[in-house]
């Protein structure tokens, strides 16, 4: 098949995928999600990925972006138009517990609930939530700073590291998962140090340690937030109250097991690599590849266990404070009965699930998982959706002014200092015609060059 016909076939599959997805949108709009909608979504996803493979590289990027936008919009529609049972409202304007006020879409319940929120309470706890989130952002930025130091690269923390984090979060607001933040901080560190293999190694290890910090938060808060699992298992959708201990055991096994492997790798990377040679043959290829990647990155920090544990502690603080934000947003919307530990524990699970979602900035997914996990704790789906959405807004408000720092990153901008192995760099590799703008294409090109350089070094050895 010629390239032209291949591309045309891919476009036809994408169009068919869009038609199936339009059916999903129709079900979402009418609040009738069920097996038919799930089947349409499955057909749409399969056709999309098959069609995308047939397109040119440029077309793949464009189609992928529009797919994420469509998925985000439909996800929000499905969430907000999902029908829920609402209570009757008493003469004092408060909902009557265990009363039956009929069925309404979530957005209608939200509108009713927002009118009951006290303004001064909202402002106080929203500001506290923003402050808590900013502590987490600083902690994460400091962890990145430490990882670069471990590779012999130093930049001024406030002028370069912190501002690049704020810029990355600003860009990431419009992108799925943490792609904007990870991509931009990696790009700047490589651009101003010209040590791409080192900064890529630091970023790889940061991802593993970051997830471990989240899993540690999950494990440490589980005993205090166990009631969340009991609520989920006893809910009408699951109706298996006896499954809560099994679910808790699964979380401990997965989150605790991964955390243990990473901690062993940080302390004894050689032991991890040796174990991989024995157990690797029993692992699926993708898992083996990830463990190999982690072992290689940890090996580059051999003898720096104290630094790596400080990084892990900062990443734990990052995710713990993010979970705490949702406790304060619950108080902001007037949920006076909000319990600290159950909300923090449930929010760590929600954060992990949101990181895996394909929606832009986790929109829709965040609110859906918060509703699934914490409706009982927060007094209903409307409160869960509102507290989750407010958590996102508080987090972005605390860091969205990174856009102002992005304006300062003109082609001639340089960090106050940039040292590699103790020597100040001269930036001679930055061409005069380099506009300094961050793009996914530039980053991908630098990654390829770094991989090629690493391969040449290994061949020489």
Question: How does pLDDT run across 288-345, given as a tens digit for each residue?
Answer: 666 667 767 777 788 888 999 999 999 999 999 999 999 998 888 888 888 999 999 9
Q: How is the chain split into domains, by residue range?
A: 3-81, 85-114, 119-408
Vertex 210 angle, CA 206 and 214, to 5°: 175
Per-residue pLDDT of 230-272, as tens digits, reads 998 988 778 888 899 999 999 999 999 989 888 888 887 766 6
CA distances for 132 relative to 158, 162, 376, angstroms: 18, 16, 24
pLDDT at 367: 77
Per-residue pLDDT of 341-380, as tens digits, reads 999 999 999 988 888 776 665 666 777 888 888 888 888 7
pLDDT at 459: 47
Neighbours of 193 (CB within 10 A): 23
Q: Mean pLDDT throughout 157-183?
A: 80
Closest by Cα among 348, 327, 310 to 221: 348
Asked whether 13 and 51 are in contact (CB, 8 A), the reply is yes
- Could you give the CA distance from residue 444 to residue 6 in angstroms, rounded to a whole number? 25
- Mean pLDDT of all residues belonging to the chain: 82
pTM, to two decimals: 0.77
- Could you give the CA distance from residue 265 to residue 287 in angstroms, rounded to a whole number? 15
Neighbours of 85 (CB within 10 A): 14
Q: Does 68 score more than 80 pLDDT?
A: no
Q: Does 28 score more than 70 pLDDT?
A: yes
Per-residue pLDDT of 210-234, as tens digits, reads 999 999 999 999 999 999 999 989 8
pLDDT at 399: 72
Asked whether 440 and 183 are in contact (CB, 8 A), the reply is yes
């Amino acid at each position: 098949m010629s390239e032209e016909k291949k591309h045309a076939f891919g476009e036809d599959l994408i169009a068919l995928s869009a038609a199936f997805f339009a059916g999903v949108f129709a079900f979402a709009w009418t609040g009738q999600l069920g097996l038919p909608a799930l089947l349409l979504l499955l057909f749409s996803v399969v056709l999309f990925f098959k069609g995308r493979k047939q397109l040119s590289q440029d077309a793949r990027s464009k189609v992928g972006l529009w797919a994420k936008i469509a998925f985000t919009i439909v996800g929000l529609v499905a969430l907000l138009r999902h029908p829920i049972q609402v209570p009757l409202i008493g003469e004092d304007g408060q909902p009557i517990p265990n009363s039956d006020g009929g069925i309404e879409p979530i957005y209608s319940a939200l509108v009713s609930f927002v009118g009951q929120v006290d303004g001064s309470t909202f402002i106080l706890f929203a500001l506290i939530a923003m402050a808590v989130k900013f502590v987490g952002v600083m902690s994460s930025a400091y962890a990145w700073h430490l990882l670069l130091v471990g590779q012999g690269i130093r930049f001024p923390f406030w002028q370069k590291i912190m501002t690049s984090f704020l810029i990355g979060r600003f860009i990431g607001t419009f992108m799925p998962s943490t792609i904007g933040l990870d991509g931009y901080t990696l790009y700047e560190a490589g651009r101003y140090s010209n040590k791409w293999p080192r900064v890529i190694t630091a970023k790889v290890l940061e991802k593993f340690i970051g997830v471990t910090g989240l899993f540690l938060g999950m494990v440490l808060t589980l005993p205090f937030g166990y009631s969340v699992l009991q609520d989920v298992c006893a809910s009408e959708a699951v109706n298996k109250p006896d499954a809560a201990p099994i679910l808790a055991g699964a979380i401990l096994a997965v989150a605790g097991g991964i955390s243990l492997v990473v901690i062993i790798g940080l302390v004894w990377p050689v032991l991890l690599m040796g174990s991989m040679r024995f157990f690797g043959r029993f692992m699926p290829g993708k898992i083996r590849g990830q463990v190999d990647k982690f072992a290689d990155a940890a090996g580059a920090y051999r003898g720096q266990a104290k630094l790596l544990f400080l990084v892990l502690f900062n990443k734990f603080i990052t995710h713990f404070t993010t979970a705490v934000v949702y406790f304060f947003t619950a108080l902001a919307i007037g949920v006076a009965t909000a319990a600290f530990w159950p909300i923090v524990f449930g929010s760590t699970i929600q954060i992990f699930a949101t990181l895996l979602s394909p929606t832009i900035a986790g929109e829709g997914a965040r609110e859906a998982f918060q509703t699934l996990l914490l409706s009982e704790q927060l007094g209903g789906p409307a409160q869960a959706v509102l507290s989750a959405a407010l958590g996102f807004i508080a987090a972005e408000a605390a860091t969205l002014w990174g856009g102002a720092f992005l304006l300062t990153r003109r082609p001639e901008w340089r960090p106050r200092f940039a040292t590699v192995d103790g020597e100040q760099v001269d930036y001679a590799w930055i061409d005069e015609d380099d506009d300094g703008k961050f793009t996914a294409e530039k980053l991908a090109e630098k990654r390829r060059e770094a991989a090629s350089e690493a391969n040449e070094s290994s061949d020489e050895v």
